[in-house]
Structure 1
Amino acid sequence: MEDDLNPLLKVEKIKAGYGETEILHSVSCEVKEGEIVTIIGPNGAGKSTLMKAILGLLKPTQGRIIFNGKDITGKNPNQIVREGICYVPQSDNIFPSLTVEENLEMGAFIRKDDYKNKIEEIYEIFPDLKERRKTKAKKLSGGQRQMVAIGRALMLDPLLLLLDEPSAGLSPKLVQVIFEKIEKINEKGVSILMVEQNARKALSISHRGYVLVMGKNRFEGSGDAILNNEEIGKLYLGE
């Protein structure tokens, strides 16, 4: 991992929102190379807004976002993707009328090399998709669709993968599968920043976590430290 002075991603006191409504109030966070970092908090805390600001879908009104040593604040999403960040939104994250393989091919839109080997790598992570490579995405289960969305993001070999509620709407069995896949992706060298309502499960596989409340940093620490914090447990982990 990189040392503490040079995180892969460093968000410094950003403010961002929609129109006149400010959602993020001087929020900071960082992801070191090789880490899984989870952001938790109640609905409306600004978690998804933070993701959108990192990817350039929202322009911060204050603060900086540093990625891989470069200031990416205010860059457009296409530029940020080229720098090595890929984003999997919670919804509308696949092309329903395309097959599994066509969806993956769409993820290779800026690759200049032969991406066929990359598709096979994705199938190694998600064997279910290989069996259904010619199946229309609209015929897949919720868990399989999420696998397609994550697989498509991986087609660009990102340095950092942003996941917005990867387990949303899935059965407990599929939630377990998705988190196992996230760990496997991380083991292959991809750093991960995710927002997740299933806080306990997400923190259990995370190196570190942050708690956002009303658009502000409330807590931060290792995944275990947050899981074992009584105050956080009562307020945000349903204990």
Structure 2
Amino acid sequence: YGETRVVHGLDLTVREGTVHALLGRNGVGKSTTLKSVIGQLPLTAGRVTLGGQQISGKLPYDIARMGVAYVPETRDIFGALTVRENLELAGRLAGPGADWSVGKVVEFFPNLAERLNNGGHELSGGEQQMLAVGRALMAGPRILMLDEPTEGLAPIIIQQIFGKLKELKASGLTILLVEQNLNFALGLADDISLMGRGQIVWRGDAAALAKDDEAHTRWLGV
């Protein structure tokens, strides 16, 4: 951001077919990291690869076509378009034989079935989040990146989203998750990285983090 480097010296590997949670206090660079991967923010050094192929330096549209899907904290659905139109638009990023269709998305998220002809602005917060995830899936991603998917949602909706992400994990989809809800993240993640001062300061799994009181206090503030 201008002359300020929010993220520096970051070394992060997400194993294929796993859920990797990127955690830390507010302002340490988690969202910036995701935006850098998707090409919304330029890199000043280093590179990002997907399956050994460099994606950094490419336009966000091209990165999405290569298989990186991103659901921002703000969801960024098109409020003036219907649910169906939001999904169909995202589907244009997928190649032939894509795994996801409008029908499959509404089967996965039944809440959207009766909302297909409603505008995005008419949806509740939970429905908008489901649409945002469904839209990302329509692109046929190799990796799904989620930024604070539980932000502002009611507990019952958080449970539904958790269950759906569990299903995606079981299907073998690679997921990179930024999340402030620690229990939500720990319940999903295979691997965990903690960020502090713009870089990775701790690596491990949920069991290791649960036993590390110092990491909780120093890097998560809990």
- Structure 1 runs (4+) deviating above 6 angstroms are 114-117
1:95 and 1:25 mapped to 2: Cα distance? 33
Q: Residues 79-228 of structure 1 correspond to what in structure 2 (within 5 A)?
A: 79-111=62-94, 113=96, 118-228=101-211
2:67 and 2:94 mapped to 1: Cα distance? 12
2:42 counterpart of 1:59? yes
1:92 and 1:136 mapped to 2: Cα distance? 15
- In structure 1, the gaps of 5 or more residues are 1-17
SS of structure 2 residue aligned to 1:31: coil
Contact 1:200 1:237 in 2 (8 A): no
2:61 and 2:91 mapped to 1: Cα distance? 13
Higher relative contact order structure (alpha carbons within 8 Å, sequence separation ≥ 6): 2
**TM-score, scaled to structure 2:** 0.93
Amino acid at match of 2:156: K
Identical aligned residues as a percent = 39
Root-mean-square deviation (Å): 1.9
Offset from partner CA, 1:16-56 (integer Å, 9 cap, x none): xx111011120111111110011110111000000011111
Amino acid at match of 2:81: L
Contact 1:31 1:37 in 2 (8 A): yes
Amino acid at match of 1:103: N
Q: Residues 17-96 of structure 1 correspond to what in structure 2 (within 5 A)?
A: 18-96=1-79
More strand per residue = 1
2:187 and 2:95 mapped to 1: Cα distance? 37
In terms of mean alpha carbon deviation, does 207-216 or 88-97 score higher?
Answer: 88-97
Contact 2:24 2:220 in 1 (8 A): no
- In structure 2, the gaps of 5 or more residues are none
**TM-score, scaled to structure 1:** 0.87
Contact 1:200 1:227 in 2 (8 A): no
2:144 and 2:34 mapped to 1: Cα distance? 11
CA deviation after TM superposition for structure 1 residue 112, in Å: 5.5
CA deviation after TM superposition for structure 1 residue 110, in Å: 2.8
Aligned to 1:11: none
Contact 1:212 1:218 in 2 (8 A): yes
1:116 and 1:198 mapped to 2: Cα distance? 30
